Structure 1
Amino acid sequence: MSQVDPRKAKNLDEACANGNGTYNGYRMLSWLSEVLHPSKGLSEAEVREIEAEVRAKRAQK
């Protein structure tokens, strides 16, 4: 797996492939957000923060 910022990857495989046929979902969402919103994409850390917030809200219910 590459440690390069997924937002700078040229394609999905370069952004988030684990090398064993699986993909890192956080890196995939980071890459996709950059593809959809150039120069405004979410970092992998931001994607993880959003996921943590959603899980916390669900746990409160």
Structure 2
Amino acid sequence: MFASQFPELTFNNLLNKLCDTCRIDDTYFICQHDNMKKVADMLEGVHGLSLKSRYGFCL
């Protein structure tokens, strides 16, 4: 799993890393992820959420 390779990253930083890694060029990239990052920031203070739960809230 992608996240297990970067255990020190916050969820928001993990989303950034995923988007950067998935970018092929200016044509192929993960679009409209700004809202996901805003929600991820809000969830940083919530302890005990799994990665799956955090991702679910961001969708």
Q: TM-score if structure 1 supplies the norm length?
A: 0.32
Name the structure with the higher helix share.
Answer: 1
Relative contact order (C-alpha < 8 Å, sep 6+): which is higher? 2
Q: Which has the larger radius of gyration?
A: 1
